[in-house]
Amino acid sequence: MTPLVRIDREGVLCMVNRRMFLSKPLSFYSQFFNGRIPTMDEALYYIEGCVQRMTGAHLYENDLYLVQLFSRPPFFQLNIRRRDGQPCKDWRHFQQIKNEIMGPQCEAVELFPAEDRLIDTGNEYHLWGYAQPDHRFPFGFDRRVVLSEEQRFAPQIPPHSGSMDSATAPALFVS
């Protein structure tokens, strides 16, 4: 994966986004109006809000990903999607993206929301975090444990042979 590069937004991008939204029939917007088909004025107001939110983001790209950074003080939000539209499968990529954009000492989380707050617009992933590098979430691990590639792919659990003691337990689980 190549390093991320910040993309300068052009005014033309706003027009492209508006044109894309305006190409949808009014019935498309019913999902944002509790099932009701909005009036043209309501749809235009909604579209402009979407375009403004999109314009407020910083964009980054590399060979695999497009990333939008939104500032929501005291938080940041990263919207991550693959350029080819496929699902993201490697969390190490998300860690690298977070490190490159926010810094290696900032923490971020991925939220699996309640159904009434669910956003599912395709293979997009969202990370939220504090922009302050010294902030720590009140959950998670207390220390760093990173295995080498050889250790990661080695069998971690020995074949079952009765009880397991510290001599037979995988090194990862022995303190």
Q: From CA 33, how far away is CA 27, in angstroms rounded? A: 10
pLDDT in tens, 69-102: 988 888 999 999 998 989 998 999 999 999 999 9
pTM: 0.65
Decide if 26 is inside a domain.
yes
pLDDT attached to residue 149: 81
Q: How many CB atoms lie within 10 A of CB 48?
A: 13
Decide if 65 is inside a domain.
no
Decide if 13 is inside a domain.
yes
Share above pLDDT 70 across residues of the chain, in percent, rounded to a whole number: 85
Decide if 152 is inside a domain.
no
Decide if 21 is inside a domain.
yes
pLDDT band for 58, please (50, 70, 90 cuts). confident
Decide if 39 is inside a domain.
yes
- pLDDT: which is higher, 120 or 136: 136
Count structural domains, the chain. 1
Decide if 7 is inside a domain.
yes
Residues spanned by the domain of 23: 1-56
Decide if 143 is inside a domain.
no
Q: From CA 32, how far away is CA 161, in angstroms rounded? A: 58
pLDDT attached to residue 17: 79
Q: From CA 66, how far away is CA 83, in angstroms rounded? A: 6
